Structure 1
């Protein structure tokens, strides 16, 4: 793929800008990235620096992808690449994110009691609407009172 800026050189980087609900991805060469200030003038992207001690001569025996090509595109050619490059990828991920396993963001501890109360509130609101629709005002007032207690507790 050619660079989206100069349309001459091969794009070796992709740059994604997210604004609100939309994202725009540009595929650019290293020279244009440096000129736009997206890369330090002195160096390669961080992933290339981290891959320096990997065995760049490794070749996938199934699809023929070299580790050097993987380092350039960060895309595997086939499922066999995982087996061939696995050790070096694991090392790369440990350097990049501190662990070979991506843990993502974890939710705050959820208070089960609060969740149960919220669920009960939703059920009571539905029951209240039904009682009013049936003109069962006595039942509706009891539900309303119970609902008020629960909403104050949450």
Structure 2
């Protein structure tokens, strides 16, 4: 398979983007992938093993350009990890980093996944509260859509369902 960009070299980098449910395939050679700044595909062949963290960290590099460094880079109050350092290593220092970097993460997650909230599987035995919270969030989004569309009867039904679930959540 040849590179989609230059159509000269064999494609060695295969990227599947899924944005808002729309799937796009991109097949690039190393040089075009590097030029497009998708991520750095050059691996150190001098004995350094492949690192998934370094590989994933490369995905954040294009987003870093959107957030020019201020005089003092954003950092986590708890562990001291800075956002530029996070983008280099590809992992957080502690659980508080999620909140500390929320402003930078939301646009990235929205571009990468189309959403900024979890839509995956939840454990059956221990996920009761998580499922209820997720359902409440979904209903709140539906409620907002109903109000925007001036569907007030539907909005009232959704409001009542939200209240019922919030009461159920408070009891458990």
Question: Could you say which TM-score interval applies, normalised by the shorter chain?
Answer: 0.3 to 0.5
Q: TM-score, normalised by structure 2?
A: 0.35
Bigger relative contact order (CA 8 A; separation at least 6) = 2
Q: TM-score, normalised by structure 1?
A: 0.39
Higher Cα Rg, which structure: 1
